[in-house]
Amino acid sequence: MKKRIALPSNSYPCYLFSISNFNVFKMGLKLYGDFTWKSKVKKMFLYISMPLLRYLKSNLRKEIQEKVFLIDEIIKKEIKNNSYDINLYFPSEKKAVVQIINHNKVFGFMKISFDKKGSELLKSEIKILNLLKKMNFNSFEVPEVIKYGEYNNKLFFIFLTSPEKYSLLRNYELNEEIVKISAELFLSKTDMKELGESYLYKKIEKNLQKVKFLNEKEREKLLKEMEENKNILIPLGIVHYDFKPWNFVRNLKTSKLFLFDWEDARLEGLPLWDIFAYIIFTYVSLFNKVSPETLLGKLKKFYFFINIYLGMVRLNISDEIILFILKLYLMELLLDDSLWNRRERDEKSRISKLSLLRFLKTLIDK
């Protein structure tokens, strides 16, 4: 097994960087470093100390060692090339994301699931990406599926393409380029339906009476609003659903943005879903404890771009309907346990969830 160092810890979430080659180490730190070490000084220290890291021993947990061994086996078998090197990210015990480098160039990346639910998500991603492959997008690029399959009945994997040379987004603020991408994606496959016929509306309606995070008065108020708006005709289109800045890189060869992580994408999503994700969920993910007033301020700040998006998707709706769709978005986030049941982020997730809940309650009470 090639020499790798675990940073910042040997447990989940775990980043495993190759230290056999400085260029490979640098590529991994470039891709994942912003999420782990935001300080440039810390990253510079890691660059300088890289030769010393070779003499450190990563006391990885046994289960992580076994997973790394399996990953090496899969890549060796599928790529049929021993000149590759990899950097790995384990967000949890159920999943791994692997950056594959061949001759100091990014070959692509691999996503691996170690449980049944994760495997189903990866299969959903394959379905979405194969559909998107048939579409010619002007404003952005998406990965192509190279290979996929099961390995020893233990895991499911997919190999995906990636730009050879790229840069990360430095500005996380919503802008016209991001709005255009969201609109073009949404319009690529739309179907006009009554709002009450959408999957997300039905899901929220079904679960609303059971939720404990809203009181009876709030539930009744939201249910009444849902009943009043269920017959509105509205386009349903493709939404990425995890539409956040760290799922973008810029392809330096084409200058277009490259959008990753399609496992949560929906074919019949509501308009504005990805715009709200980029504004609201990004901000809460970064700062965790955020007041409703701050989030309302964010919406007002980017209201201009919300109107640009609505014009692009040819949708004329009132501010009341925009806020109603936002309430449905927040309800969907709060109902989605997979967003919050991540052991390594329990406390941050709890604080983020409370921020979203307070925001939803504020909107309901308006």
- Binned at pLDDT 50, 70 and 90, residue 273 comes out as very high
Among 164, 191, 226, the domain boundary falls at 164
150 lies in the same domain as 102: yes
219 lies in the same domain as 265: yes
* Secondary structure string (H, E, C) spanning 196-238: HHCHHHHHHHHHHCCCCCCCHHHHHHHHHHHHHHCCCEEEEEE
The pairing of strands 257-259 and 248-251 is antiparallel
What does the pLDDT read at residue 344?
Answer: 42
pLDDT score of 292 more than 60: yes
pLDDT score of 164 more than 60: yes
What does the pLDDT read at residue 55?
Answer: 47
The pairing of strands 191-194 and 166-168 is unpaired
339 lies in the same domain as 199: yes
Are 239 and 275 a contacting pair, CB within 8 Å? no
Comparing 200-214, 267-281, 326-340, the range with the smallest average pLDDT is 326-340
Average pLDDT score over residue span 207-236: 93
Question: Quick one: tokens of 233?
Answer: 């005709």
178 lies in the same domain as 268: yes
- Binned at pLDDT 50, 70 and 90, residue 30 comes out as low
Among 131, 164, 197, the domain boundary falls at 164
What does the pLDDT read at residue 87?
Answer: 84
pLDDT score of 133 more than 70: yes
Average pLDDT score over residue span 57-84: 77
278 lies in the same domain as 343: yes
- Residues forming beta bridges with residue 106, ordered by sequence position: 101
158 lies in the same domain as 176: no
Average pLDDT value over all residues in the chain? 85
What does the pLDDT read at residue 182?
Answer: 98
Specify the 3-state DSSP secondary structure of 339: helix
148 lies in the same domain as 201: no
Specify the 3-state DSSP secondary structure of 71: helix
44 lies in the same domain as 120: yes
Cα distance between residue 134 and residue 145, in whole Å: 12
191 lies in the same domain as 42: no
Cα distance between residue 121 and residue 263, in whole Å: 5
DSSP letter at 110 equals E
pLDDT score of 47 more than 70: no
DSSP letter at 98 equals E
Higher pLDDT: 43 or 22? It is 22
pLDDT digits (tens, 9 = 90+) for 247-262: 999 999 999 999 999 9
User: Which amino acid is it at 82?
Assistant: N
Q: Could you list the residue range(s) of the whole structural domain that residue 148 is in?
A: 4-164
Which CATH number belongs to the domain containing residue 159 in this structure? 3.30.200.20
Specify the 3-state DSSP secondary structure of 176: helix
Average pLDDT score over residue span 129-146: 95
DSSP code per residue over 259-323? E---TT-EEEEPTTHHHHIIIIIHHHHHHS---HHHHHHHHHHTHHHHHHHHHHTT----HHHHH
Number of structural domains in the chain: 2
pLDDT digits (tens, 9 = 90+) for 83-129: 788 888 888 788 899 988 887 788 889 999 998 888 999 999 999 99
User: Which amino acid is it at 99?
Assistant: Q
The pairing of strands 95-102 and 105-113 is antiparallel
313 lies in the same domain as 253: yes
289 lies in the same domain as 231: yes
Cα distance between residue 170 and residue 36, in whole Å: 15
Higher pLDDT: 192 or 46? It is 192
Quote the percentage of the chain above a pLDDT of 90.
55
Output the CA angle 4-70-130, nearest 5 degrees. Answer: 105
What does the pLDDT read at residue 154?
Answer: 77
Among 144, 164, 184, the domain boundary falls at 164
Within the chain, how many helices (H) and strands (E) appear?
13, 14
206 lies in the same domain as 348: yes
Q: What is the pTM of this model?
A: 0.87
- Residues forming beta bridges with residue 147, ordered by sequence position: 159
Which CATH number belongs to the domain containing residue 344 in this structure? 3.90.1200
Residue of 27, 38, 334, 5 whose CA lies nearest to 162: 27
